[in-house]
Chain A
């Protein structure tokens, strides 16, 4: 089957999309994504994986360098700034999630901010917003080329597949590349795509997003220098199609003068309340509800009364982890998150520390947990549910089910709660002026003249915090 011109249509579209085509709906949603991404990124700069990546990246220097979020003194060459900031964003699995499944913002925003800081003429906030949305849109388009992408992944980690393409597209946009160069940027980026899922639930997973940001930016810059790749990279099965078992691409039509239907307008993202894999949010909400039922009926509620816990979840091997040994495994464990919710009546950022993971009471509860995967529970973030059933020593059963957790695209976080999440995250690193500055700038990004002002707020650490947290790992 000969398909023609799909890649070229993407190149043309990336080039042609302009700020007048940004709708209110898309502007609103993407600003929320930016704010959330910056917050989780800032919090993530205090993790062990971030520190390792930062130490490594400091081997490199350059004349023009870019900010490292949450660090007032350190800058890095743009590629490595994108790398470490991207890692920070995904370090605690706290970043946004879309449908079909990927973490779209972490692959794009760090690259754009790093790039913007080095451009001779400073892009405006609106330029940044447009480039960001181009990066998100391209990812959404690519995921719709296969049925495989609609389910929880098993082979390749989606951010490593579509994220690098989004970063390349967004960077190409900000650089103002020609249609042909945009096409080449995508082709070059495709050779940097595809990390296997096995590294999810490990310390290396955040690097998938960090590398997506970094290598997409690099692809755009190589294209700017004239490097060429396959101009049909999206068209052919031996191109981008290698990452999917079924692959059916289609062209992206953009006319510079008419309206454009952004995918983000139709399909919102989910924001997380817990720094853990998205699936955990369902099981936590169900566990909390089941616990509440138990608490309401039993006078002196004591967890040792629980004989058995059954979790009914979708089949997904990499989040089925009965006894997690590390924070990374804990963030990818139905069993852990449910048990935490039952034990503590909440799951928060601090639930994943080494001390918390190793609590005897938690381990005891974990030994009573069993996982079932009912046939009607599909491995899709759009269709799945989680059910938690507790059985007490007395033989009483308490069941609760969650179809849509608060924060899912069907039940989005209120603006108040989103800003609250950001404030809590950012305050662990920035001083008040920095926190409020970021909220203010992102809230008004379409009116900001030079987007580099964002960078200066991201560096406004409270020095006390910087000393305290620089060697501590969460």
Chain B
């Protein structure tokens, strides 16, 4: 990873170098030569024709999945709490739709907030590499802002999709500035760092801000970024995405009113930290828009991971590994797995404190527990939405299995969503040892969900709240999104 970064560095001043003395340029690059300015320019000037068919296809899948998990997320306690907070603190405002709640609308930033909370409430939303949950930070803001725009100037479906992709692209570019971002996070929760920036970028585009204003939107957003990892696996975690969405929109709105901030926020200035405050290593690179019609969006070279069940991505490896052991066990004898058969369970997983929880106390902790997800899959053959209900958390069979789990962190199992594996080794009472190993779970970007599987997930999620006509119409509308003249067809189906 390090050598890759070093190879692609092209110091900005080396490109310009001729007129000014090297020393002066090093100390103060011309405004248009900064990384920050290049980002602003990209956001403002990239065109719909730069979206390739692969990127269109992949991003539409993301939009669909994100709406689905957002809608089912509207049934959670944390969503309800966030919604009531907003409704109590602020007067009704008939502007932006709230997922899954017919007739409920809020001010745009508040709608972005609650819909973002909904999206991440069950940890069911998409995950990328380097690690973050990109869509939940962007889509709610873009939807809310679209609702805010006047009836005769609503964005077209293609404009909407372009803004969305800009929000994703900016996140991907920022994460590539550091090695730290390539591994499972330890300090700052990535959606709170890059998500806010992505939302700001997407909204700046939708507001048609000029390059300078786009840069300022990013800089304003930087001061609103960054939440510690410690709140992951708690009820507060979904607010990281909710706030990323909300605050990115706010940054763009403030920039549109002329608020200014640092013009070097993405550049690395010694002694004064900007965006690099969030990383231990940081090498920024300008974002260039090539003169011809091509721009390679990162989504083209790096696909998205979609979850099959609502838990941290790492859980999907151990669940698939445990499920294969379950299949073998069930093949042996009666149709269920009983703790009585099991003497010992060994998990070989990467080292990561916040997903290592032997006895999770809450649904939030359970979604972040290798042990819990492995045992659930071992017992039931799969992990589903239902695996995290209060009753399911307290099952005696599950607790019995949990008490028999040991963990190992092999050297060859890095804490990295691109390279990790999950292994479940079950020692039966009789002495037999069964092993399940998963390198790439179904849904990972190396083994993506088929369109059918994705739609099935969407139907299960959205269908839990919306009538089936709306569910089907949403599938159709999103499929057609880049051809829609007006994104209202999408906005009207969310509740």
A residues with CB within 8 A of B: 49, 52-53, 55-56, 59-63, 77-79, 154-157, 160, 187-188, 190-204, 207-208, 211, 221-222, 225-230, 232-233, 236, 238-243, 315-318
Nearest Cβ in chain A — how far from B138, in angstroms? Answer: 19
Q: How far is the CB of A319 from chain B (nearest CB, A)?
A: 10
Q: List 11 A-B contacts (CB under 8 A).
A: A61-B90, A61-B93, A62-B89, A191-B189, A197-B277, A198-B273, A201-B262, A202-B261, A222-B82, A240-B230, A318-B272
List of B residues within 8 angstroms of A211 by Cβ: 223-224
Q: How far is the CB of B77 from chain A (nearest CB, A)?
A: 9
Asked if B101 CB lies within 8 Å of chain A CBs, one says no
Smallest CB separation, B189 vs chain A (Å): 8
Whether the pair A155, B273 counts as a contact (CB closer than 8 A) is yes
Contact B235 A238 (CB under 8 A): no
B272 engages A154 (CB within 8 Å)? yes
A194 in contact with B277 given A199-B223, A238-B229 (CB within 8 Å):
yes
Q: In the docked arrangement, what's the CA distance between A111 and B1, Å? A: 46
A188 and B239 contacting across the interface, CB-CB below 8 Å: yes
Q: How many Å lie between the Cα of A163 and that of B233 in the bound state?
A: 25
Q: In the complex, what residues of B have CB within 8 A of residue A188's CB?
A: 231, 236, 239
Contacts of A221 in B (CB 8 A): 85, 89
Q: B288 to chain A: closest CB distance in Å?
A: 22
Q: Which one, B82, B188, B223, contacts A195 given CB within 8 A?
A: B223
B223 touches A204 (CB 8 A): yes
| Beyond A188-B236, A198-B272, A201-B262, 18 additional pairs, beta carbon < 8 A | A52-B259, A59-B253, A61-B91, A62-B91, A77-B91, A188-B231, A190-B228, A194-B227, A198-B273, A199-B265, A204-B262, A207-B259, A228-B234, A228-B235, A230-B231, A230-B234, A239-B229, A239-B231
Contact B275 A196 (CB under 8 A): yes
* Contact A242:B234 (CB < 8 A) given known A196-B265, A198-B272, A222-B85: no
User: Across the interface, which residues of B come within 8 angstroms of A160, CB to CB?
Assistant: 223
A199 to B219 alpha-carbon distance, docked (Å): 7
Rounded to whole angstroms, the CA-CA distance of A56 and B257 in the bound complex is: 8
Interchain CB contact under 8 A, A225 and B81: yes
A222 to chain B: which residues have CB within 8 Å? 81-82, 85, 239
Q: Is B264 close to A, CB under 8 A?
A: yes
A63 and B274 CA atoms in complex are apart in Å by 38
Give the Cβ gap from B368 to chain A, nearest Cβ, in Å: 12
Question: Using Cβ atoms and an 8 Å threshold, which residues of chain A touch B274?
Answer: 196-199
Q: B269–A198 contact, CB under 8 A?
A: yes
Give chain A residues whose Cβ lies under 8 Å from the Cβ of B90: 60-62, 77
Q: Count contacts on B: residues with CB < 8 A to the other chain.
A: 58
How far is it, in angstroms, between the C-alpha of A230 and the C-alpha of B368 when the chains are bound? Answer: 14
Which residues of B have CB within 8 Å of A156? Answer: 273, 277
The 8 Å CB contact of A198, one of B107, B187, B239, B262, is B262
What distance in Å separates the Cβ of A190 from its nearest Cβ neighbour in chain B?
6
A167 CB → nearest B CB, Å? 15
A233-B275 CB under 8 A given contacts A79-B89, A199-B222, A202-B262: no
In the bound complex, CA of A150 to CA of B273 (Å): 17
List B residues 24-56 near A (Cβ within 8 Å). Answer: none
Chain B residues whose CB sits within 8 angstroms of the CB of A187 once the complex forms: 230-231, 234, 236
Complex interface: chain A residues within 8 A of B231 (CB): 187-188, 190-191, 229-230, 233, 239
User: CA–CA, A225 to B89, complex, Å?
Assistant: 12
Task: Closest A residue to B235 by CB, please name it.
Answer: A228
A275 to B337 alpha-carbon distance, docked (Å): 72
Q: Does B326 contact A (CB under 8 A)?
A: no
B235, B274, B353 — which one has the most chain A CB atoms within 10 A of its CB? B235
Partner of A59, one of B107, B224, B269, B270: B107
Residue of A nearest to B263 (CB): A202
B462 at the interface (CB under 8 A from A): no
In the complex the two chains form, is A226's CB within 8 Å of B269's CB?
Answer: no
- Contact of B262 with A78 in the complex, beta carbons under 8 Å: no
The CA of A233 and the CA of B271, in the complex, are separated in Å by 28
Q: Give the chain A neighbours of B239 by CB distance below 8 A.
A: 188, 191, 222, 227
Q: Find the B residue at minimum CB distance from A195.
A: B223
**Which residues of B in the span 65-110 have a Cβ within 8 Å of any Cβ on A?**
78, 81-82, 84-85, 89-91, 93, 107-108
Known A196-B277, A202-B261, A236-B230: A56·B253 in contact at CB below 8 Å: yes
Q: Is the CB of B230 within 8 A of A232?
A: yes
Task: Name the one of A55, A62, A226, A242 contacting B229, with C-beta atoms under 8 angstroms.
Answer: A242
B243 at the interface (CB under 8 A from A): yes
The yes or no answer to B390 lying at the interface (CB within 8 A) is no
Q: Which of B84, B259, B275, B276 has its CB near the most chain A CB atoms (within 10 A)?
A: B259
Within 8 A of A (CB), among B151-206: 186-189, 192
Give bound CA distance, A396 to B273, whole Å.
Answer: 40
* Chain B residues near A233 (CB-CB < 8 A): 228, 230-231
Q: B366 to nearest A CB, angstroms? A: 15
- Is there contact, CB below 8 Å, between B186 and A238? yes
Chain B residues closer than 8 Å to A77, beta-carbon distance: 89-91
- Nearest residue (CB) in B for A160 is B223
- Give the distance in Å from the alpha carbon of A230 to the alpha carbon of B265 in the complex: 30
A191 to B188, CA, bound (A): 9
Bound together, the chains give a CA A390 to CA B354 distance in angstroms of 58
B260 within 8 A of A: yes
Least distance between A111 CB and chain B CB atoms (Å): 13
Which of B230, B253, B265, B273 gathers most chain A CB within 10 Å? B230
Verify B240–A52 contact, CB threshold 8 A. no
Bound-state CA distance A49–B255 (Å) is 11
B431-482 contacts to A, CB under 8 A, are: none
Task: Specify which chain B residues have a CB less than 8 angstroms from the CB of A191 in the assembled complex.
Answer: 189, 192, 227-228, 231, 236, 239-240, 243
